[in-house]
Amino acid sequence: MEIIIQPTPEAASAIAARMIARLLREKSDAVLGLATGSTPLLLYRELVRRKLDWSRVTTFNLDEYVGLAPDHPASYHCFMWENLFRQVNIAESNVHIPDGLAGDIPGFCQRYEEQIRAAGGIDWQLLGIGTDGHIGFNEPTSSLASRTRIKTLTQQTRADNARFFGGETAVPQHVITMGIGTIMEARQVVLMAFGQDKARAVAEAVEGPITAMNPASILQLHPVARIVLDEPAATLLRKADYYRWVYDNKPDWQKA
Which residues form the interface with ligand GLP (CB under 6 A)? 35-39, 62-63, 128-130, 136-137, 157, 161
Q: Catalytic residue at 134?
A: yes
Single out the catalytic residue among 77, 96, 134, 222.
134
Strand bridging mode 124-127 / 31-34: parallel
**Least gap, CB of 1 to ligand GLP (angstroms):** 18
CA nearest 145: which of 210, 97, 203?
210
Run of H or E residues at 105: helix 105-118
Single out the catalytic residue among 64, 113, 123, 139.
139
**Least gap, CB of 134 to ligand GLP (angstroms):** 7
Single out the catalytic residue among 46, 123, 132, 160.
132
* Residues 80 and 34 sit within 8 Å (Cβ to Cβ): yes
**Least gap, CB of 138 to ligand GLP (angstroms):** 9
Partners of 226 in the β-ladder = 2, 190
Single out the catalytic residue among 46, 63, 113, 204.
63
- Pick 19 or 56: Cβ nearer ligand GLP: 19
- Pick 200 or 244: Cβ nearer ligand GLP: 200
Percent of the chain that is helix, strand, coil (3-state, to 5)? 40, 20, 40
* Residues 115 and 96 sit within 8 Å (Cβ to Cβ): yes
**Least gap, CB of 3 to ligand GLP (angstroms):** 18
**Least gap, CB of 29 to ligand GLP (angstroms):** 25
For ligand GLP, which residue has the nearest CB?
Answer: 128
* Residues 206 and 1 sit within 8 Å (Cβ to Cβ): yes
Q: Catalytic residue at 132?
A: yes
* Residues 109 and 26 sit within 8 Å (Cβ to Cβ): no
- What residues contact 241, with CB distance under 8 A and at least 6 apart? none
- Pick 23 or 190: Cβ nearer ligand GLP: 190
- Pick 128 or 179: Cβ nearer ligand GLP: 128
- Pick 235 or 238: Cβ nearer ligand GLP: 235
Q: Catalytic residue at 230?
A: no
32: DSSP letter: E
d(CA 99, CA 125): 19
Q: Active-site residue numbers?
A: 63, 132, 134, 139
